[in-house]
Structure 1
Amino acid sequence: LIARELPVIPHCTEDALSAKGVNTRVDLMEIESLARERIVREHALAGVTFTSPKTVAVDADVEIGEDTVIAAGVALYGSTRIGARCTVGPNVTATDATLGDEVTVSHAVLTDCRAADRVKIGPFAYLRPGTEVGEGAKIGTYVEIKNSVIGAGAKVPHLSYIGDADVGEGANLGASAITANYDGRQKHRTKIGKGVHTGVHNSFVAPVTIGDDAYTGAGSVIREDVPEEALGIARAPQKNIEGWARRKKHEKPSG
């Protein structure tokens, strides 16, 4: 500029980082690293504990409550809000998620979802957009939830997919619960009432409603509504064929 006889106006700043130029990807990485360190430091000064600060990424608009612990490998993006006295991590990615107070979450992916106070999530859980988890509920290992409301105190503890569903307060879904919500053209909702207990390996073919305090038998494919306080069973009866293994052992191979 001087060589071209153009004006050069100095500008004083107390923040050297804001004046640092970015001309290469290496420059960009250095700036991002410094910015992350600054954000983490600000949260730490406000009462948040980071057990492994160099492994954490926190966006500028993220809010974290006092006495919350952020473990290694945590990434908090967008407008994520985390309450007080939570334990987040290790290995959690949250984008535009809202967590209440005293929430525990580990090894999980949370996207555009909400969890109330004292919820437990993970390990290895996936909460997708539109999910709302009520106070004191549990979302356990290898559980995926999408566009569903999980009532207060309800439990979805193991190996389940819950999509487009309303699960009542205090319900307990057995391992491998599946809501079959898509008929090939459109999505349908499953409604599971308060205090319901479902057996292991249950599929719920939506639209379907399970009434309050009802039970469903293990291995059932529930296609019809189950009334309140009823037991719904939908499976083929077991058949035992005596001596089958002995005869099979002595069969001659075909061909």
Structure 2
Amino acid sequence: MTNYAVILAAGKGTRMKSDLPKVLHKVAGISMLEHVFRSVSAIEPEKTVTVIGHKAELVEQVLADQTEFVCQTEQLGTGHAVMMAEPVLENLTGQTLVIAGDTPLITGESLKNLIDFHINHKNVATILTAEADNPFGYGRIVRNQHGEVIKIVEQKDASDFEQQIKEINTGTYVFDNARLFEALKNINTNNAQGEYYITDVIGIFRENGEKVGAYTLKDFDESLGVNDRVALATAESIMRRRINQQHMINGVSFVNPDATYIDINVEIAPEVQIEANVTLKGQTKIGAETILTNGTYIVDSEIGQRAVITNSMIEESSLADGVTVGPYAHIRPGSSLAKDVHVGNFVEVKASSLGENTKAGHLAYLGNADLGANVNIGAGTITANYDGQNKYKTLIGNNVFVGSNSTIVAPVELGDNSLVGAGSTITKSVPADAIALGRGRQTNMAEYAKRLPHHPQNK
């Protein structure tokens, strides 16, 4: 049978205390809405309809070209939101998943199990439920003595007896598509919230003698709906634990997984070692046998095999096999480090490329520079690439030796095999195989030190 899906993403999320629509708050690097959409994709829906409302244009940008959109201009409840999908789905044959966009922890596997349960039991509606130790705030699943679902009652409408029920509604459902939209025409706002509840269709189905079932989640954590920053942090913690666990299963070693932050899109090869307080974000990829030490922070970067990154920051850059970085280095966006490059402590590289076996051991700044292979950059060296208005390029050939405390004033080129003497300021290009000295002549004034007050003979 054919599957369809409706994702509810119209709410503002007042309790988030944010101008950003609730479903766009991020968990493990992507929005809650994207997490839900990925899970929904597991059931391979023929049509997916996302109901948008508050700041609709922002929400639409996140899933552009991946789903159809309908707009709920007034947020009058979950039932009203699903009504908005009627022009797209009404009269189609199949089953429709209805899910909230603020439930980022529900897995695709659970949604597939829910659909299978619904079809195998020939239900007109199936509710995804969970067993809660503390069910306060959730809608309760009310069953009869035969275990059949009679209704769902919201917290504000529940009797004292109903409030003791532990089985709760997760807000995710599967319906016979045609019957769903027929039943929605008969619900009303006669409840404590004055809203159209999607849950009211369950009562309509029961009155008609139609079969309503419930599928219970194995993991209660999946049921979490995020309504405030506290729940958002809880979702982040659970998702991070899941992500790290999967990496460990895949052969990655963690010193302290509870103190390691890895976004959901990060790719890590086997035999990587990750120490505590490491953060990997965005579209980062880490090659096999690489070591990431305590405090390393990598964003949208690709690290090759057998690299060692020691307590350093890398952003939007690529590092080849065998590269060593740090401690306390900063590789800024647009940089590429070739095989076996070494960038040491307190070195900053920005929008630059470093050829194979090139080394900048300490206290250097390389900005807007292209360096060849086997280059040595001495301590305290900088490329002066900015004149206050424009940035200029420095080109350094192969096998160049730049002595300590040198300033290379761009635009300038250092030819292959050239040498720059320590303490030089280079403002003109240096030919291949040449030695450049750009410093004032040293003058030694004999006996002059004896004239100074601090000289031992004057004390």
Residues 169, 23 of structure 1: CA spacing in aligned structure 2 closer, same or farther, 3 A cutoff?
same
Instruction: Give the match for residue 291 of structure 2.
Output: 87
Instruction: Give the match for residue 221 of structure 2.
Output: 17
Alignment of 1:129-140 (within 5 A): 129-140=333-344
Residues 7, 162 of structure 1: CA spacing in aligned structure 2 closer, same or farther, 3 A cutoff?
closer
- Following superposition, the deviation at residue 244 of structure 1 comes to 2.0
> Aligned to 1:158, which of 362, 367, 392?
362
Q: Which amino acid aligns with 1:77?
A: K
Instruction: Give the match for residue 373 of structure 2.
Output: 169
Q: Give the distance between the partners of 2:293 and 2:301, measured in 1 at CA.
A: 14
> Aligned to 1:142, which of 337, 342, 346?
346
Cα shift readout 1:188-231 (whole Å, capped 9, x = no counterpart): 00011100011000000000000001101010000011111110
Alignment partner of 1:41: what SS?
Answer: helix
- Following superposition, the deviation at residue 21 of structure 1 comes to 2.1
Aligned structure 1 segments of 4 or more residues deviating by more than 6 angstroms? none
> Aligned to 2:250, which of 28, 33, 46?
46
Instruction: Give the match for residue 420 of structure 2.
Output: 216
Structure number with greater CO (CA < 8 Å, separation at least 6) is 2
Q: Paired residues, what number?
A: 251
Instruction: Select between 201-210 and 11-20 the one with higher mean Cα deviation.
Output: 11-20
Larger radius of gyration: 2
Q: Identity of paired residues, percent?
A: 37
1:237 is the counterpart of 2:441 = yes
Alignment partner of 2:442: what SS?
Answer: coil
Cα shift readout 1:57-113 (whole Å, capped 9, x = no counterpart): 000000001000001110000000000000011110101010011110011011000
Residues 60, 250 of structure 1: CA spacing in aligned structure 2 closer, same or farther, 3 A cutoff?
closer
- Following superposition, the deviation at residue 243 of structure 1 comes to 2.3
Residues 207, 60 of structure 1: CA spacing in aligned structure 2 closer, same or farther, 3 A cutoff?
same
> Aligned to 1:73, which of 277, 294, 301?
277
Alignment partner of 2:230: what SS?
Answer: helix
Residues 131, 7 of structure 1: CA spacing in aligned structure 2 closer, same or farther, 3 A cutoff?
closer
Instruction: Give the match for residue 185 of structure 1.
Output: 389
Q: Give the distance between the partners of 1:52 and 1:152, measured in 2 at CA.
A: 33
Q: Give the distance between the partners of 2:223 and 2:431, measured in 1 at CA.
A: 67
Alignment partner of 1:66: what SS?
Answer: coil
1:228 is the counterpart of 2:432 = yes
Instruction: Give the match for residue 323 of structure 2.
Output: 119
- Following superposition, the deviation at residue 137 of structure 1 comes to 0.7
Higher helix proportion (structure 1 or 2): 2
Instruction: Select between 23-32 and 205-214 the one with higher mean Cα deviation.
Output: 23-32
Q: Which amino acid aligns with 2:261?
A: A
Alignment partner of 2:452: what SS?
Answer: helix
Instruction: Give the match for residue 59 of structure 1.
Output: 263
> Aligned to 1:36, which of 221, 224, 240?
240
**TM-score normalised per structure 2:** 0.53
Alignment partner of 2:422: what SS?
Answer: coil
- Following superposition, the deviation at residue 16 of structure 1 comes to 3.1
Residues 210, 26 of structure 1: CA spacing in aligned structure 2 closer, same or farther, 3 A cutoff?
same
Alignment partner of 1:156: what SS?
Answer: strand
Cα shift readout 1:17-40 (whole Å, capped 9, x = no counterpart): 332122332222222111101100
Residues 130, 250 of structure 1: CA spacing in aligned structure 2 closer, same or farther, 3 A cutoff?
closer
Q: Which amino acid aligns with 2:391?
A: K
Q: Give the distance between the partners of 1:143 and 1:250, measured in 2 at CA.
A: 37
Structure 1 unaligned regions, length at least 5? none
Q: Give the distance between the partners of 1:249 and 1:175, measured in 2 at CA.
A: 33
Q: Which amino acid aligns with 1:49?
A: S
- Following superposition, the deviation at residue 15 of structure 1 comes to 4.8
- Following superposition, the deviation at residue 249 of structure 1 comes to 2.2
- Following superposition, the deviation at residue 185 of structure 1 comes to 1.4
Q: Which amino acid aligns with 1:90?
A: N
Instruction: Select between 41-50 and 28-37 the one with higher mean Cα deviation.
Output: 28-37
RMSD of the alignment, in Å? 1.7
- Following superposition, the deviation at residue 12 of structure 1 comes to 4.7
Structure 2 unaligned regions, length at least 5? 1-151, 158-189, 192-196, 203-213
Alignment partner of 2:244: what SS?
Answer: helix
